């Protein structure tokens, strides 16, 4: 009698995703704890916001604010920035990463604002992305903060939180952004960017998420929740190695390809 072929059911590789009711509850909690979240970058208008966000790539907000505290008093308009020049601008931002390329981009985008947009920051994604050094994330931040558009800029913090919690899992920045736009209730879209980035920056940290003090811990789908260090023993070497391996398997933020500057 011939043997019957047996088929093994493959486990689903689809990431776990929170249900709409749970996502809404998470943003209800975020809103209750922080009704009016704000960016931690210092700025006074759309142009200084655009410059600050451009400078913030691979740099901390604190570091950018220290640099712009010296820069903006003497150059806070496109015309003033162009007059300052690339060399002097570079001297003001040497304390932050990639300062040479950033100085070049800020001068170039300021010139384009003067030549193509009458010195005004456009309220349009395509127009913003046409500026040197401005990608989708920067455009989303400017549209959200300066023009109150319900956009969600996905950085490393938001990418991590969206995947860990199950709010909007995705393999790359764009897929997470689209998932967030689809899953976050309209009521919370305007502030969603800030709530998620602040949560990732101060609680849902990359190396050791502080799950024991997380306000959405019971709703979050992250399996390897970190216990309160005050009430638990230090992990053994074997446990620490297992945790590091587990963290290494989490989705990583895909590198974005910047458009070449003209």
What CATH number is given to the structural domain containing 62?
1.10.340.30
Question: What dihedral angle (degrees, nearest 10) is formed by the CA atoms of 14, 20, 24, 30?
Answer: 0
Domain containing 209 — which CATH number? 1.10.1670.10
Q: Which of 93, 111, 145 is the endpoint of a domain? A: 145
Q: Does some domain include residue 257?
A: no
Query: 137: closest CA among 17, 262, 257?
Result: 257
The CB density around residue 69, as the number of other CB atoms within 10 Å, is: 11
Are residue 128 and residue 198 in the same domain, yes or no?
A: no
Are residue 30 and residue 159 in the same domain, yes or no?
A: yes
Alpha-carbon gap, residue 21 to 5, rounded angstroms? 42
Q: Which of 101, 126, 145 is the endpoint of a domain? A: 145
Are residue 58 and residue 91 in the same domain, yes or no?
A: yes
Q: Does some domain include residue 99?
A: yes
Q: Does some domain include residue 12?
A: no
In this structure, what token pair is assigned to residue 164?
């860990």
First to last CA, the chain: 73
Are residue 31 and residue 99 in the same domain, yes or no?
A: no
Q: What is the pLDDT of residue 230?
A: 86
Q: Does some domain include residue 58?
A: yes
Contacts for 133-136: CB closer than 8 Å, 24+ residues apart: 133/54, 133/101, 133/102, 133/104, 133/105, 133/106, 133/108, 133/109, 133/258, 133/261, 134/50, 134/54, 134/105, 134/109, 135/256, 135/258, 135/259, 136/173, 136/174, 136/177, 136/256
Q: What is the pLDDT of residue 241?
A: 74
Are residue 124 and residue 53 in the same domain, yes or no?
A: yes
Alpha-carbon gap, residue 220 to 174, rounded angstroms? 22
Are residue 51 and residue 140 in the same domain, yes or no?
A: yes
DSSP string computed for 129-159:
HTSTT--HHHHHHHHHHTT--------HHHH
Alpha-carbon gap, residue 177 to 153, rounded angstroms? 7
Known catalytic residues are: 137, 155
Q: Does some domain include residue 164?
A: yes
Tens-level pLDDT at each residue, the chain (262 residues) = 444 444 434 434 566 899 999 999 999 999 999 999 999 999 999 999 999 999 998 899 999 999 999 999 999 999 999 999 999 999 999 999 899 999 999 999 999 999 999 999 999 999 999 999 999 999 999 999 999 999 999 999 999 999 999 999 999 999 999 999 999 999 999 999 999 999 999 999 999 999 999 999 999 999 999 999 888 766 677 776 776 666 665 555 555 445 555 5
Question: What dihedral angle (degrees, nearest 10) is formed by the CA atoms of 259, 249, 157, 70?
Answer: -70
Are residue 141 and residue 158 in the same domain, yes or no?
A: no
Are residue 129 and residue 176 in the same domain, yes or no?
A: no
Query: 199: closest CA among 256, 238, 169, 159?
Result: 159
**What are the residues whose beta carbons fall under 8 Å from the beta carbon of 211, sequence distance 6 or more?**
217, 220, 222, 225, 226, 227
CB 180 within 8 A of CB 17: no
Alpha-carbon gap, residue 68 to 40, rounded angstroms? 13
- Residue 73, domain extent: 46-145
The phi, psi pair for 65, rounded to 5°, reads -60, -35
Q: Give me the number of domains the chain comprises.
A: 2
Q: Which of 92, 112, 145 is the endpoint of a domain? A: 145
Are residue 80 and residue 136 in the same domain, yes or no?
A: yes
Q: Does some domain include residue 173?
A: yes
3-class secondary-structure state, position 101: helix
Q: Helix (H) and strand (E) counts for the chain?
A: 12, 0
pTM: 0.81
């Amino acid at each position: 009698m011939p043997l019957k072929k047996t088929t093994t059911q493959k486990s689903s590789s689809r990431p776990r995703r929170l249900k709409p009711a749970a996502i809404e509850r998470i943003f209800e909690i975020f809103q209750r704890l922080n009704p009016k979240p704000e960016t931690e970058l210092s700025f006074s208008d759309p142009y200084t916001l655009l410059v600050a966000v451009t400078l913030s790539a691979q740099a901390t907000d604190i570091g950018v604010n220290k640099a712009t505290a010296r820069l903006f008093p003497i150059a806070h308009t496109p015309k003033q920035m162009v007059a300052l020049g690339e060399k002097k601008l570079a001297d003001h931002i040497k304390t932050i990463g990639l300062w040479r390329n950033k100085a070049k981009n800020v001068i170039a985008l300021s010139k384009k604002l003067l030549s193509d947009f009458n010195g005004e920051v456009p309220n349009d994604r395509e127009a913003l992305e046409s500026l040197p050094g401005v990608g989708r994330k920067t455009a989303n931040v400017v549209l959200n903060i300066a023009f109150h558009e319900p956009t969600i800029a996905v950085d490393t913090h938001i990418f991590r939180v969206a995947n860990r919690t199950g709010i909007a899992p995705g393999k790359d920045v764009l897929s997470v952004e689209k998932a967030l736009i689809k899953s976050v209730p309209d009521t919370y879209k305007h502030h969603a960017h800030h709530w998620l980035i602040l949560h990732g920056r101060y609680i849902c940290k990359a190396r050791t998420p502080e799950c024991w003090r997380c306000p959405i811990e019971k709703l979050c789908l992250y399996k390897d929740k970190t216990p309160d260090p005050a009430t638990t023993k230090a992990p053994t070497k074997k446990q620490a190695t297992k945790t590091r391996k587990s963290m290494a398997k989490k989705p990583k933020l895909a590198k974005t390809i910047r458009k070449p500057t003209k």
